[in-house]
C-alpha cells in the first residue's frame, strides 16, 4: 500500500496556494494538512500540523537568510522541504540547498511532477530539475578546502569561515567572486574581510595572506635551547 505524504503549503500568493491545493487534492499519494501565507507566527501552525513535507514558494528564502526553515527543521526533525521556484535563479537554488531544501520544482511543473517530487522526498530522496543540476555540480567543484587550523589561526582568532576567506584571498579573488564561491552576499564577504584585516593587523586585503604566513613562520621557529653545564 502506497504511503500518503502529509504536506503543508506555505505560499504568500493566495491564488498559488489554492491552485496547489486543487492540484494536490487530486493525487492519492499526497494529503494537504494545512496551508497559509508567511507570517510571524506561521511556524507555530506548521509545527502543530506536524507535516512530513513543507511545500513553499521561492519567497521563502527572502526572510533573514531562511530563519524560518532553520526554526522548523529544529522543531520537526523529520521535516523535509520542497520549494517551488517561481522565478528560476541559480543563486536562489543554491541558497535553498544550503538552507536545507531537498526537493526543488520549477513553476511550470505539472501536478504529476510536483506530486512525484513530494513522494520522492518523503521517501528520503532529493530531487532537483536537470537544468539546475549543473549549477549544483559546479558549486561543489568550486569549493575551496578549508585551510588547516594552524597556530596562527587560533592566535589571531580567525574563525573557520575567515580561514576560507584567506584561502580565497590567496587566489586573488574579488569580493564578488568570493561571494559566489561561498554563496554569501557581497556585503557579508566585505564584513568578513574587514574583520580579518583587524585581526591580523594587515594594512590592506592584498597583504592579509603574507601577514598570516609570517605569523605562522614566527610560531614555527625553533625555541633556543639553554646550554647545559657539564656535570
User: Is there a contact between 168 and 126 (Cβ–Cβ < 8 Å)?
Assistant: no
Q: Give the integer Cα–Cα distance in Å for 196 and 24.
A: 50
Q: Give the integer Cα–Cα distance in Å for 127 and 132.
A: 10
Q: For residue 126, give the C-alpha cell.
A: 532529493
Q: Which of 63-77, 89-103, 123-137 has the lowest mean pLDDT?
A: 63-77
- Per the model's pLDDT, the better-predicted residue between 60 and 54 turns out to be 54
The model's pLDDT over 78-95, given as tens digits with 9 standing for 90+, comes to 999 999 987 777 888 888
Would you say how long the chain is, in residues? 231
Q: Give the integer Cα–Cα distance in Å for 167 and 172.
A: 9
- pLDDT recorded at residue 73: 85
Name the pLDDT band for 222 (thresholds 50, 70, 90): very low
Report the range out of 66-70, 214-218, 226-230 with the highest average pLDDT: 66-70
Asked if the model's pLDDT at residue 52 lies above 90, the reply is yes
SS3 151: helix
CA angle 35, 107, 40 (to 5 degrees): 35
Q: Give the integer Cα–Cα distance in Å for 13 and 18.
A: 9
Q: Give the integer Cα–Cα distance in Å for 16 and 91.
A: 23
What domains are there in the chain, each with its CATH number?
Answer: 5-134 (3.40.50.2300), 151-220 (1.10.10.10)
Across residues 114-129, what is the average pLDDT?
A: 91
Residues 6+ apart with CB under 8 A from 38: 10, 12, 59, 60, 63, 68
- pLDDT recorded at residue 219: 46
Predicted TM-score (pTM) of the model is: 0.60
CA distances (Å), 18 to each of 23, 32, 58, 115, 231, in order?
9, 11, 16, 15, 93
- pLDDT recorded at residue 147: 46
- Per the model's pLDDT, the better-predicted residue between 70 and 113 turns out to be 113
- pLDDT recorded at residue 34: 94
Amino acid at each position: 500500500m502506497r504511503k500518503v505524504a502529509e504536506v503543508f503549503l506555505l505560499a504568500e500568493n493566495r491564488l498559488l496556494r489554492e491552485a496547489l491545493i486543487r492540484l494536490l487534492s487530486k493525487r492519492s499519494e499526497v494529503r494537504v494538512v494545512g496551508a497559509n501565507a508567511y507570517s510571524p507566527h506561521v511556524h507555530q501552525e506548521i509545527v502543530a500540523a506536524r507535516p512530513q513535507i513543507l511545500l513553499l514558494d521561492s519567497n521563502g528564502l527572502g526572510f533573514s537568510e531562511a530563519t524560518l526553515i532553520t526554526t522548523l527543521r529544529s522543531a520537526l526533525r523529520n521535516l523535509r522541504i520542497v520549494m517551488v521556484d517561481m522565478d528560476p535563479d541559480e543563486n536562489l537554488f543554491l541558497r535553498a540547498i544550503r538552507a536545507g531544501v531537498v526537493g526543488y520544482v520549477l513553476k511550470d511543473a505539472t501536478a504529476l511532477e510536483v506530486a512525484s517530487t513530494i513522494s520522492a522526498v518523503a521517501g528520503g530522496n532529493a530531487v532537483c530539475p536537470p537544468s539546475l543540476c549543473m549549477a549544483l555540480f559546479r558549486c561543489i567543484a568550486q569549493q575551496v578546502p578549508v585551510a588547516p587550523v594552524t597556530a596562527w589561526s587560533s592566535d589571531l582568532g580567525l574563525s573557520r569561515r575567515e580561514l576560507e576567506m584567506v584561502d580565497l584571498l590567496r587566489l586573488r579573488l574579488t569580493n564578488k567572486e568570493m561571494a559566489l564561491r561561498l554563496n554569501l552576499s557581497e556585503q557579508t564577504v566585505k564584513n568578513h574581510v574587514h574583520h580579518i584585516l583587524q585581526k591580523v593587523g594587515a594594512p590592506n586585503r592584498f597583504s592579509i595572506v603574507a601577514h598570516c604566513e609570517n605569523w605562522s613562520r614566527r610560531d614555527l621557529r625553533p625555541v633556543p635551547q639553554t646550554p647545559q653545564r657539564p656535570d
